[in-house]
Amino acid sequence: MNTDFVGAGTALITPFKNNGEIDFVALGKIVDRQIVGGIDYLVMLGTTAETPTLSDEEKKDIVDFIKERTGGKIPLVAGMGGNCTKSVLAKMESFDCSGISAFLSVTPYYNKPTQEGLFRHYSELGKHSPLPVILYNVPSRTGANLSAETTVRLAAESEKFVAVKEAAGSIQQVSQIIKHAPPHFKIISGDDIMALPFMSLGGHGIISVIANALPQKLSSMVHLALKGDFAEAAKIHIDLTELLRLQFADGNPAGVKAMLLQLGIIENVLRLPLVAAGDATVRKIAEELVKLA
User: Hey, which residues are catalytic here?
Assistant: 136, 165
Give the residue among 184, 164, 183 at the shortest CA–CA distance from 174.
Answer: 164
Spatial separation of the C-alpha atoms in residues 155 and 80, rounded to whole Å? 18
Angle at 243 between CA 279 and CA 283, to 5 degrees: 20
Spatial separation of the C-alpha atoms in residues 35 and 56, rounded to whole Å? 26
Burial of 115 (0-12, 13-18, 19+ CB in 10 A): middle
Q: How many helices (H) and strands (E) does the chain have?
A: 12, 8
Q: 33 in helix, strand or coil?
A: helix
102-106 vs 161-166, strand pairing mode: unpaired
- How far from each other are the two terminal CA atoms of the chain, in whole angstroms? 32
Contact (CB, 8 A) for 153 and 182:
no
Strand partners, 186: 163
Spatial separation of the C-alpha atoms in residues 131 and 109, rounded to whole Å? 22
